[in-house]
Structure formats: structure tokens, C-alpha cells
């Protein structure tokens, strides 16, 4: 979606969070190592559904300003999902006494919350929603 966005701050925010997400892979590998487990790829129907919905919504919009607002909205849906999942995983890791895992996942949770907050700022204070309405 960063390639379709036109608002400079939105593009920068999406690209920055993509880089963060790529670094999260390394931390997740550390989590698996600490748990003595081998990571493996798996499908996530929930996130696949959010992405499918986002692609459909973005594909229907021609107006660039409305498109930016839709990209913010759909990106926030992804962040909400990630925040929910990391919150649960941290709670479970705490219960199981995996303090190292809690620290690693809390870093991810904080990155997801910051990404969400940045998107909110772009929508509400940087004019994306206002321009979409106009």
C-alpha cells in the first residue's frame, strides 16, 4: 500500500513500519530459540482476510485523497490485529515465566502501538481525512 499512497508522511510511515516488521522476524526467531522450538511458516486467515479486504477497498478508489484515507484505515486494522495478538502472547508468556520472551514481544507490541498512533496522527492531524472529505 505504500506504493499506492500519495501523502508523503503516510508513505514514510508505512515504509518505516515495514522495515520494523522485517526486523521483528529476527526477534521472533530469538523467541522460538528461547522456547527450544523450530519456527515454521503458517497461514493466518485473519490477517489474510484483512489484507484481502484492503486490496478490494483500495482497488475501488480512484481519488488519491480518498485512497490515502482508505490506506490509513486498512493499515490501522492490521495494527489492531497485531496489537491484540502480541498482547495475548505477552500475557501467556508472563504466565509461563518466560521473561526473555515477554521483553522481546513487548518491543513488538510497542512498535505496533507506535505505528497505529502514527497512522492516527496522519489521518487526524496531518490532513489525510480532511482532504478525503473535501
Residue 62: phi and psi, rounded to 5, are -95, -35
Q: Which of residues 106-125 bind Fe ion (CB under 5 A)?
A: 112, 115
- Given the complex with Fe ion, which of 84 and 96 has the nearer CB atom? 84
Q: Is residue 82 a contact residue for Fe ion (CB under 5 A)?
A: yes
The CB-of-39 to Fe ion minimum distance in angstroms stands at: 18
What minimum distance in Å lies between the beta carbon of 19 and Fe ion?
11
- State the Cα–Cα distance between residues 91 and 51, nearest whole angstrom: 26
HSE-up of 34 (CA within 13 Å, CB side)? 17
Q: Which is nearer to Fe ion, 61 or 83 (CB)?
A: 83
Say which DSSP state 39 is in: -
Q: How far is CA 21 from the centre of its chain?
A: 8
Residues in contact with Fe ion by CB under 5 A are: 79, 82, 112, 115
Amino acid at each position: 500500500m505504500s506504493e499506492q499512497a500519495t501523502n508523503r508522511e503516510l508513505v514514510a510511515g508505512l515504509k518505516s513500519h515495514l522495515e520494523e516488521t522485517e526486523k521483528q522476524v529476527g526477534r521472533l526467531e530469538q523467541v522460538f530459540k528461547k522456547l527450544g522450538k523450530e519456527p515454521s511458516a503458517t497461514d493466518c486467515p485473519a490477517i489474510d482476510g484483512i489484507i484481502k479486504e484492503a486490496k478490494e477497498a483500495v482497488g475501488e478508489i480512484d481519488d488519491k485523497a480518498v485512497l490515502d484515507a482508505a490506506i490509513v484505515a486498512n493499515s490501522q486494522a492490521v495494527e489492531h490485529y497485531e496489537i491484540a495478538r502480541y498482547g495475548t502472547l505477552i500475557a501467556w508468556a508472563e504466565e509461563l515465566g518466560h521473561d526473555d520472551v515477554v521483553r522481546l514481544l513487548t518491543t513488538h507490541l510497542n512498535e505496533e502501538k507506535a505505528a497505529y498512533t502514527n497512522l492516527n496522527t496522519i489521518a487526524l492531524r496531518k490532513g489525510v481525512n480532511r482532504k478525503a472529505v473535501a
